[in-house]
Amino acid sequence: MLTKTPLLNETDISASTGGERMSRADKEFKIVVRNLSFYYGKIQALKDVSLDIQANKVTAIIGPSGCGKSTFIRILNRMNDIIPGVRVEGKVMIDSQNIYDGNVGAVEIRRRVGMVFQKSNPFPKSIFENVAYGLRISGLIKKSSDLGERVRRALVDAVLWDEVKDRLNASAFKLSGGQQQRLCIARALVIEPEVILFDEPCSALDPTSTAKVEELIQNLKDKYTIVIVTHNMQQAARVSDYTAFLMLGELIEFNKTNKMFTTPSEKVTEDYITGRFG
């Protein structure tokens, strides 16, 4: 570790240094990560990461490739459970419930924590069915009119409705790359998660589509807590309220975004942000 466990220091909230101590303010943190280590077999991908993610804010995770940022974000919805031979140590609390407790199911967690992937990955189904999928498998929606309304609302929230309302039954593959990514966002929104994770959502998009998605992310934070992984520093500066900088599996610095990009407290952070490496 280069520093003591870095935590928010600019907020009016007294940051907790250990997982056990619950301060008054912990309730405002949607996600609390404590002493998180992660292993692919024998390889350690994350080392003792602790950090707090605020509700209704956008938190960006940046760092050079291979730093563990994708691994980190996939821990938050237990997506890494799919990979055989992985191991998680430490705690990830969402609303003070450790999501890695034995009695918590990955499926339930993923309903509460949605995810949008690096490359848009619509299913080979119609536009409507792509969005409806999450509702259908949940078995919660009984009436088809309710289903239609929920799908419409998700598409509206994802700013895609006007572009697709006349062709909901067309294949999702007919959409442009940017539209496909917004469809994937709608697919994540429809089940009304509490947190949405974005794993480099714009890395395959052109600048116009990127701008649309970024604007969308800004609008979504009123309703959701958002964590975004990006290798694009400008993007992190544009969309996020807080930024965490990871390197070689360690959390180097975690700060308010404008502080991080103007006066970082770590020399490495500054080197990275100013493009001296990575």
- How far the first Cα of the chain sits from its last, in Å, is 19
Min dist CB 123 to other proteins, Å, is 6
Q: How many residues does the chain have?
A: 278
Q: Which residue is listed with tokens 């992310």?
A: 217
Alpha carbon 116 to chain centroid distance?
A: 8
Are residues 255 and 9 in contact, defined by beta-carbon separation less than 8 angstroms? yes
Min dist CB 10 to other proteins, Å, is 32
The β-bridge relationship of strands 29-40 and 43-54 is: antiparallel
State which residue, 69 or 110, has the beta carbon closest to other proteins.
Answer: 110
Say whether 141 sits in a helix, a strand or coil: coil
- Per the structure block, which two tokens stand in for 51? 């950090």
Min dist CB 258 to other proteins, Å, is 31
State which residue, 131 or 260, has the beta carbon closest to other proteins.
Answer: 131
Q: Interface with other proteins by CB under 8 A: which residues?
A: 77, 79, 82, 84, 105-108, 110-111, 114-115, 117, 119, 121-125, 133-134, 136-139, 184, 187-188, 190-191
Q: Which residues neighbour 220 within 8 Å (Cβ) at sequence distance 6 or greater?
A: 157, 189, 196, 226
Number of helices and strands in the chain (H, E): 10, 10
State which residue, 90 or 193, has the beta carbon closest to other proteins.
Answer: 193
State which residue, 43 or 82, has the beta carbon closest to other proteins.
Answer: 82
Ramachandran angles phi, psi of 259, nearest 5°:
-70, -45
State which residue, 191 or 247, has the beta carbon closest to other proteins.
Answer: 191
Min dist CB 191 to other proteins, Å, is 6
Question: CA separation (Å) from 156 to 102, 123, 161, 187, 213?
Answer: 37, 20, 5, 12, 13
Q: Which residues neighbour 44 within 8 Å (Cβ) at sequence distance 6 or greater?
A: 37, 38, 249
Min dist CB 125 to other proteins, Å, is 8
State which residue, 63 or 114, has the beta carbon closest to other proteins.
Answer: 114
Min dist CB 15 to other proteins, Å, is 30
Min dist CB 146 to other proteins, Å, is 17
> Element (H or E) spanning 26, and its range?
none
State which residue, 110 or 212, has the beta carbon closest to other proteins.
Answer: 110
